[in-house]
Structure 1
Amino acid sequence: MIFSLFKNRRSNRRIVDRQYELLTQTARQPIFYEALDVPDTVMGRFEMLSLVLILYLRRTAKSERSGQEIAQEIIDAFFQDVDHSIRELGVGDQTVPKRMKKLAGMFYGRLETYGKALDLKDEDALAAGFRRNIHPGGKGEAVENAPVMVGLARWAATTETFLLDMTEEAVITGSLTLPLPQQQVQP
């Protein structure tokens, strides 16, 4: 009996690894960086992976318990990945927890902001959120010169609808896929 628990954990690990890989592959697609104004930087990639995970989490929130458990493991894998990436960038061990806390706050803030816009089906509010977060206008940069992010907002809204139509089987087997922007029909 106890051995079946270990078997289930290994099976879940494979599911989580497969699903996380599918999600990260989506977030790394060049079209987001080349055509949809996401900067191809460390923070741009963080923003894109965060968006993909937010869309995934919104879908799995409507899943059975097993789908929600897998989603939690994927979020854990995401933060482990972020921690590893910060360390690879040369951030010292003393500073990593502070950076992780900041990045986690950023992620959950985006989850709330983007979630509200998606709930209202307000692509303009979603685009404004992307513009603020993806192009924050640092030193000397004017936010008003940032891209409008309408294409990314349209992709996110369409993808959320697409994900809601995905089967529960796809969620619990780690086979949930997201469409790429060029696969969508433009109005």
Structure 2
Amino acid sequence: MSLLDRLRSPPPPPLSVLWQRIVEVARDPAWYLRYGVPDTLDGRFDMVALVASLVMLRLDREGAKDDTVFLTERFVDDMEGSLREIGVGDMVVGKHLGNMVGAFGGRLGAYRAALADPDPAGALERAIRRNLFRGDEAGDARGLAEAARALRLRIDRASPADLRAGRW
């Protein structure tokens, strides 16, 4: 490949395949149909945050700080693109991104604490009810928490190479 070819089509950013898998899993219709996750911008954001949190917690346990940084960068890039697609202008994109990164960080912290709790099933259900369903009783927080814990097991069982390749 010539230098000109490489300049025209640079390699994808680190962990792009993993990010694509996170988004693919988060957009699975089952979350929305079976567990009542709102099929809205907020609901989709919350599912991406939940799935990304499970992956990032695994990367944290590996001590893969660089990979968590790369994954956060993919999150920001994706959210910025989504904001621009829905017509958010340049003057306020930064503010919206700041709010979204803060919300993501809060959810990551809540899910980390829940999964470290002596009662992770109950704690995760409460964290999902509070963060994803905003306290609304309409969604199936218990079922979603069970499904999220099953997803976490799949993520945790993947080899480091399979995890990064999105094979989980």
8 A contact 1:55–1:160 mirrored in 2: yes
The number of residues matched between the two structures is 160
Shift of residue 104, structure 1, vs aligned partner: 0.8
8 A contact 1:127–1:153 mirrored in 2: yes
TM-superposition CA deviations, 1:35-94 (whole Å, max 9, x none): 0111111111100001110000011112264xx423321220111110111122112222
Shift of residue 14, structure 1, vs aligned partner: 6.5
2:77 to 77, 80, 89: 80
1:165 to 140, 157, 166: 157
Structure 1 position 47 matched with structure 2 position 37: no
* Equivalent residue, structure 1, for 2:57: 58
Which aligned segments of 4 or more residues in structure 1 are displaced greater than 3 angstroms?
Answer: none
8 A contact 1:27–1:48 mirrored in 2: yes
Question: Unaligned 5+ residue runs, structure 2?
Answer: none
8 A contact 2:15–2:67 mirrored in 1: yes
Q: Which amino acid aligns with 1:46?
A: F
* Equivalent residue, structure 1, for 2:113: 116
TM-score by length of 2: 0.83
What's the % identity of the aligned pairs? 29
Aligned-partner Cα distance in 2 for 1:35–1:97: 34
Question: Unaligned 5+ residue runs, structure 1?
Answer: 138-142, 179-187
Q: Which amino acid aligns with 2:161?
A: E
Aligned-partner Cα distance in 1 for 2:104–2:52: 9
* Equivalent residue, structure 2, for 1:29: 28
Q: Which amino acid aligns with 1:70?
A: D
Q: How does 1:126-145 map to 2 (within 5 A)?
A: 126-136=124-134, 143=136, 145=137
How well do the aligned residues superpose, as a CA RMSD in angstroms?
A: 2.3
